[in-house]
Structure 1
């Protein structure tokens, strides 16, 4: 199965606490990191693929810090297809590539995309990027993105899949923090967001 997420921000201590940008009500980064791992693995199976759309971690630009993140990422189920975010420097991604390990089925645990990728899912095109794109008038095309955390663009086709995204609240039951979103949830978010925006226009 396919899943999508962004803005894990592992080890990012400044995000802890109640704030408007990315409220993460944890007492420590260890608690936050473990919550993401636990909730991720409750949904994602070893054979699944997860598109992680940037801002993987926030650590010093040192191999010892990169090793900490790598050790954590190895605990996540599925193959991770990572798109570079503004907090993901090339030295960090190069380190992960050098320490990439095969999964039980022979696939490498990590794949990398520099800016973004276009895939086709259920007769839709998904532009997968870290930064949101302004696509103009489109049909059967979504832009899945992260970056803006607890903010939502007023465009139904732009879907924030980040851990802090308000789009998650459009689902009947908001997934637990750290849970990647499924294709079915993406399509439901689009329908709900379209309806909410239409109501707002009528007011």
Structure 2
């Protein structure tokens, strides 16, 4: 999500976000999240919560931002997330209405099962080799896409989102069905590209 990351505001050659300021960008992600997530849902956040320095005042800002988001969160550590932030959040973890804590923490990743598939949720893309029914959901590379169908970039800036039939608001968390739609279309798209290159 990269809350507060003003360097991503347009214009830039990396992953331009089309907002006038970081407050607009942050609010767009909060609104998109809360439209899709209710208080009992769990969202797996695949790293890089916010771009703030490693100190207590900015940890407080990130905490206040996360408390505006509905539901439970499993926070998987990204390269811009600090252990100090996770410790800060853990000390202030609260129970939601279902009696479960708002935050869970993972240093490396989580494994989920969905509709006869396994989702390996990590921050960095993983090269899994020849697999069947295993998909690596990752972030980290913003608007880049690994040219392997089993690697699905689920970041808010990810190009794989263009495969979705539904035009979701920018920053929306993704559901399992949408992941599989992205996977199926990316797999077909890459196969078509190979066929064109081979002149078929």
For normalisation by structure 2, the TM-score amounts to: 0.96
**Counterpart-to-counterpart distance in 2, 1:185 and 1:118:** 17
Instruction: Quote the offset at 1:20 in angstroms.
Output: 3.5
User: For residues 158 and 31 of structure 1, do their structure 2 counterparts lie closer, same or farther at Cα, with a shift above 3 Å needed?
Assistant: same
What stretches of structure 2 of length at least 5 have no aligned partner? none
Partner of residue 78 from structure 1, selected from 71, 93, 98: 71
Query: 1:3 matched to which residue of 2?
Result: none
1:43 aligns with 2:41: no
Inter-CA distance 42–104: structure 2 relative to 1 (3 Å threshold) = same
The answer for the alignment partner of 1:4 in structure 2 is: none
Q: What corresponds to 1:124 in structure 2? A: 117
Alignment of 1:160 onto 2:153: yes
Retained in 2: the 8 A contact 1:20–1:150? Answer: no
Aligned to 2:142: 149
Q: 1:106 matched to which residue of 2?
A: 99
Q: 1:21-36 counterparts in 2 under 5 A?
A: 21-36=14-29
Distance of 2:12 and 2:120 partners within structure 1: 29
- Aligned-pair CA distance for 1:14: 1.0
Of structures 1 and 2, the larger Rg is shown by 2
Q: Deviation digits for residues 149-173 of structure 1, max 9, x if unmatched?
A: 0011111110000000000001113
Per-residue CA deviations over 1:169-195 (Å, capped at 9, x if unaligned) read 011133211100000100000110011
CA RMSD, Structure 1 to Structure 2 (Å): 0.9
Normalised by the length of structure 1, the TM-score is 0.94
